Structure formats: C-alpha cells, structure tokens
Amino acid sequence: MACIRKLGVDVIADQATATLLGNDVPVLADANAVARAVEVLLVFGGDGTMLRAGRETAGSGTPIFGINTGHLGFLTGANLKQLPEALEQLSLGSFRVVDRAVIEARGKVRQQAFDLLALNDIVISRGASSRVIDLEVLVNGELLTRYRADGLIISTPTGSTAYSLSAGGAIVSPDAEVFALTPICPHTLSNRSVIVSLKSRLQVRVLNEKPATILSADGQIMQELAVGVEVLLRRSRRRVKLVQLDGQSFFGTLRAKLRWSGAV
C-alpha cells in the first residue's frame, strides 16, 4: 500500500480488499464498481483471481494489472517483489493495453435461462461418473462432429494455455481471432483439437441422459445440463483489457512459465 501511495495516486477498493488494507481506503460495492471508478484495476492473486476479476469487470473498459501471489500466473504482469518497479512503469506510462476475447455461453435448462461469461474457457463435461458423454457440435449451423468423450473444452486464445493445453490442445497467440475446440479423452482417437474463427456461432447439444453433464465457466461457475439442452457459444461483445508492461511479451511469458530452455 505504501509503494502505491508513494506515487501520489488515489486508491479505491472493494470491501474485501479494503479489509486486508485495514479499511484505510474508500470502499465501493464490488470489483465492477471499482473498475468504473479507476484508471487501472490492480488485482492481487493468481490466475483464478484474474479470471474472476475479468468476468466481473468485462465491458468496463478499465485495464487490469495482475500481481501474482499464486503459482503459475500466466495472466499476471508482476510478482510481489517486482511490484515497486512495476508501479513505477505504470506511473510513467511504460505499458500497453491489450484486448482479450471473452466467450458467452447461453442456454435454458428446465425453463431456466443461463448466460455465462468466460475469459479462459467453457467446459462441458461429465459429472462424477466415469462414463463418457455424447455431444453434438455445430459450427455456424453445420455439423462438425459428435463427440464421445469425457467432455469438450471451448477456449479463447487466452485459455489455450490452461485446461485446453493439458488436454492436448494447441498454444494460441492471444491476438489470434480463433476459438479452440478440444475434446477431453475422446473415445475416437482421431478426434483432435479444432480451430475455428472467433466470429463463429457454436452450438453444443447434449445427447445423453446419463451420466450428468456439467457446464463450467473458467472452472469457477457451474451449470448442470440435461439431455436435449443446446448451448449457444459465441464471442461476447464485452472484452477484458489487460496491462502489459514494456519489455513483456506473450512468448517471453511462455518461455518463463513453461520453462522452455530452447536449443543449447
């Protein structure tokens, strides 16, 4: 807190953050309200915290700068040791703001509509059962395939380094205008990750009654589906803006976080 105020800037926080700071700052109702009142939103935590903040403030237009206090930290821009230097760069304007696409998933279960956002991915998967599920996928109204698998990951470029990567999907540059559809443990070994345009309109239909099928947004919001339910997925009009300090890059982050050493 001291290093922030040293720069002569005003600080506003939500209640949870204000409590950590000793209630010594003005408080607004939630992250979205804070985002609309500030020039830059500082988020302390790991990728999970960044994903939640991104969803809650999507469309606000306020850039987010993450300070990693977690583990991997793909979405964060600095760690706690780097914070004073990072704040100095922010105050000098030595950064750029990059847009990240957001997925919107809509559907209706038992006459109850749902509308979820995800910065990383939407995952449709089996529940606690070990049985595979059956999903039919259409792209712009045309049948792509019917998957028999543990599930399907629909990821943004941002989410390509998350669950999709673990399931064998490609790493996608954040500025690529694509979705990646990656099956989880498909019954047919020829099923591979499929890349489609971000402008695509995706429909996923649940074909099985059992086992239970679950939709999750960024692994944090869950929605149970039912046989016959159709989920419509597309790029949201809302975007998340992230701060990238001068000297930082996506490929540099890949090399550091994934510990790529390259040729010797």
Verify whether residue 14 is a known catalytic residue: no
Q: What is the dihedral of CA 247, 251, 256, 262, to 10 degrees?
A: -120
Which listed residue (47, 121, 150, 218) is catalytic?
47
Which residues have a catalytic role annotated?
Answer: 47
